[in-house]
Chain A
Amino acid sequence: QSALTQPPSASGSPGQSVTMSCTGTSSDVGGYNYVSWYQQTPGKAPKLMIYEVTKRPSGVPDRFSGSKSGNTASLTVSGLQAEDEADYYCTSYAGGSNTLIFGGGTKLTVL
């Protein structure tokens, strides 16, 4: 099972919105609503930001939102803040192999 495709970098200025993509296939992203997004800062464990495509865990700011269209999922961060600077990873359930696959990660820079 190949990794999901994420752009290596994204950036935006404070207050702006940025959208990060995560592209898979009909066997993973497109076939199931089990896409999650994680935020990771250096030296720390990942933190769940979005699960089941659009759901936000308790405590995650509503500036973070998820969506999906076809085989591509997206994470949008609105009203960018300096603290949002981190690596963001997407995952999807892959039904054919009953596995979880990660994207390569996107490094978000707040300018």
Chain B
Amino acid sequence: EVQLVESGGGLVQPGGSLKLSCAASGFTFSASSMHWVRQASGKGLEWVGRIRNRANSYATSYAASVRGRFTISRDDSDNTAYLQMNRLKTEDTAVYYCARSTNWGCDYWGQGTLVTVSS
């Protein structure tokens, strides 16, 4: 059974940093690309970024709203993807989901972790 479990969310002050984790199981993580998607309370879904697999040089791409502040990485030995978030803004407050990629679709999703940016 495919499982994705996000962790690391919490309360952080504007300008601060936070690192989210996404623990994967039930599939060959090293062969998969992974997305991060967020959703502010009562709002729609917003794509954050994607990391490809080793065969594609772990290439990353990001939404314009987070480019230069957020970094996606992965540890294939630990079946975990990460989202490092720096210089956080109040508008980054959202539930953050990780999802497995299938040709620019997301076929499996985690349950999400809440990030609140507030003073």
Taking Cβ atoms with an 8 Å cutoff, the residues of A that contact B are 1, 3, 32, 34, 36, 38, 40, 45-48, 51-52, 57, 87, 89, 91-93, 97-105
Inter-subunit contact A89/B45 (CB<8 Å): yes
Q: Which residues in A have their C-beta under 8 angstroms from that of B44?
A: 3, 87, 89, 102-105
Question: Taking the nearest CB of chain A, how far is it from the CB of B43, in angstroms?
Answer: 9
Inter-subunit contact B104/A46 (CB<8 Å): no
CA of A91 to CA of B48 in the docked complex: distance in angstroms?
Answer: 13
Inter-subunit contact A46/B46 (CB<8 Å): no
Inter-subunit contact A100/B111 (CB<8 Å): no
CA of A100 to CA of B106 in the docked complex: distance in angstroms?
Answer: 11
Inter-subunit contact B107/A100 (CB<8 Å): no
Inter-subunit contact B110/A45 (CB<8 Å): yes
Question: Which of B62, B107, B109 contacts A57 (CB under 8 A)?
Answer: B107
Q: Which residues in A have their C-beta under 8 angstroms from that of B112?
A: 45
Inter-subunit contact B109/A91 (CB<8 Å): no
B82-111 residues at the A interface, CB under 8 angstroms: 97, 102-111
Number of interface residues of B (CB under 8 A): 23
Inter-subunit contact A51/B103 (CB<8 Å): yes
Give me the 7 closest cross-chain CB pairs, A-B, nearest first. A51-B105, A36-B105, A45-B109, A93-B104, A34-B104, A100-B47, A105-B44
Q: Max chain B CB contacts within 10 Å: which of A46, A87, A99, A100?
A: A100
Interface residue B74 (Cβ < 8 Å from any Cβ of A): no
B34-69 residues at the A interface, CB under 8 angstroms: 35, 37, 44-47, 50, 61-64
Inter-subunit contact A48/B45 (CB<8 Å): no
Q: Which residues in A have their C-beta under 8 angstroms from that of B104?
A: 32, 34, 36, 91-93, 100
Residues A99 and B106 in contact in the complex (CB < 8 Å), given A45-B112, A104-B44, A105-B44 = no
CA of A45 to CA of B64 in the docked complex: distance in angstroms?
Answer: 23
**What is the chain A residue whose CB lies nearest that of B60?**
A98
Question: Which of A1, A34, A93, A102 contacts B45 (CB under 8 A)?
Answer: A102
